[in-house]
Chains A and B, each alone.
Chain A
Amino acid sequence: DVKVTQSSRYLVKRTGEKVFLECVQDMDHENMFWYRQDPGLGLRLIYFSYDVKMKEKGDIPEGYSVSREKKERFSLILESASTNQTSMYLCASITGTGGNEQFFGPGTRLTVL
């Protein structure tokens, strides 16, 4: 059974703080994604990675960076958190060999005060 986990379900940070959101998958998937989910806006892709140390910008990368030092772990970094980054953050992973289903983590609800 595929398992995608995220480091926190709820997180509260202050404006200007550096924030790390971690995602771990246990299925040896090559591809991993970070989305943010806001009411009425659906899921928007922030960054994705198709291999260790490889990353590509998604549709809304501004204010975010990512790190993938190990295959199973994909981190989203908010260099200087702002209130407009208050959102639900979802991580997903997918095998690069045939299957297309993206498996999602449970999400991290981030509030920036």
Chain B
Amino acid sequence: GENVEQHPSTLSVQEGDSAVIKCTYSDSASNYFPWYKQELGKRPQLIIDIRSNVGEKKDQRIAVTLNKTAKHFSLHITETQPEDSAVYFCAAGGGSNYKLTFGKGTLLTVNP
């Protein structure tokens, strides 16, 4: 089955700096790579996703890049703000059963 590794497990940045979270996956059949944000005490919510036919996708301050050959994808957050503080999960999957395998999460802390 699919295996997703996520690094780092914790990340602390100063407000205004950039943050990068990296994930690798093992199953070359995976074709969908979402990123979820989970604020303390709340449910995970999708913030951005990318499909395997695209190398990069951007939405305002967040962007995701995908390298299919190396089987890794990354989340980039620019101009970080305190409200970006949360746990971020990457995931891989997208087969006919829509099953996703999640990474273990990254706790991002943005210090004012």
B-contacting residues of A (Cβ < 8 Å)?
31, 33, 35, 40-45, 48, 50, 56, 58-59, 90, 94, 96, 100-102, 104-107
Contacts and interface: CB of A to CB of B under 8 A. Distances in A.
Interface of B: 1, 6, 9, 32, 34, 42-46, 49, 89, 94, 97-105
Given A40-B9, A104-B45, A107-B43, A45 B34 contact: no
> Do most interface residues of chain A lie in helix, strand or loop, or is the interface mixed?
strand
Given A40-B9, A104-B45, A58 B99 contact: yes
Given A100-B32, A100-B34, A104-B45, A42 B98 contact: no
23 contacts: A31-B97, A40-B104, A42-B6, A42-B89, A42-B103, A43-B44, A43-B102, A45-B99, A45-B100, A48-B97, A50-B98, A56-B97, A58-B99, A90-B44, A96-B98, A100-B49, A100-B94, A101-B46, A101-B49, A102-B100, A104-B43, A106-B43, A107-B43
Given A33-B99, A102-B98, A105-B43, 16 more contacts: A31-B97, A40-B105, A42-B6, A42-B89, A42-B102, A45-B99, A48-B97, A50-B97, A50-B98, A56-B97, A94-B98, A100-B34, A101-B49, A102-B34, A102-B46, A106-B42
Nearest to B44: A104
Contacts of B104: 40-42
Contacts of A33: 99
